[in-house]
A and B are shown apart, each in its own frame.
Chain A
């Protein structure tokens, strides 16, 4: 079983819709959760981090964390074509101090 799992996609949504990206992780003791965006040929850039159960909003982005279900998600409201990229979920596993990345979900927002 992979430690951090994401659907590779592509996830296709129309412009203006809500894109929902999901991530599950295997270590119940994980404490820090990150979403990175990576455009083709570029390096990952941080979108959001979340440490506590519940929702965290930043502009059009909302991260949702459910530690009991070992699930973290990213919602993008009013999706724009410029949001088309690969979204990487990353989790810091308990007692390893190591950031583990998922394989990423490719998002396509079409006009």
Chain B
């Protein structure tokens, strides 16, 4: 069974530029998560989807971050414009059902904003 796929693995951009991350969850997993992880910290939830519905986006900075999961499968997270403080690893995870279920993480995208 293929795991969670993310791309790109690394991204370097200048501040104020836009950037987008893509995630394809494990087949059959209805729940998809985007997390942000800073160095030395645990992952912090940005947004959770149940199928195509964003059921928890309370931690998503909506002035610059947006996400979509149009067909309830793969998802895109966008930042526009990027700021220096956005440098972090962006992790995508999926689970068969809700948050009480085991989450499986993708390899992450390491973003560096210069």
Contact = CB atoms under 8 A, between A and B. Distances in A.
Interface of A: 4, 8, 31-32, 34, 36, 42-46, 49, 88, 90, 92, 97-99, 101-104
Contacts of A43: 91, 105-108
Given A34-B102, A97-B99, A42 B107 contact: yes
Contacts of B14: none
Contacts, number: 49
A99 B103 contact: yes
A101 B44 contact: yes
Most chain A beta carbons < 10 A, residue from B41, B43, B48: B43
A101 B91 contact: no
B42 interface: yes
6 contacts: A32-B99, A34-B102, A88-B42, A92-B100, A99-B103, A101-B42
A97 B56 contact: yes
Interface in B12-54: 40-45, 48
A51 to B, nearest CB: 9
B107 A46 contact: no
B105 A97 contact: no
A102 B42 CA distance: 6
A90 B55 CA distance: 20
A4 B43 CA distance: 12
A44 B105 contact: yes
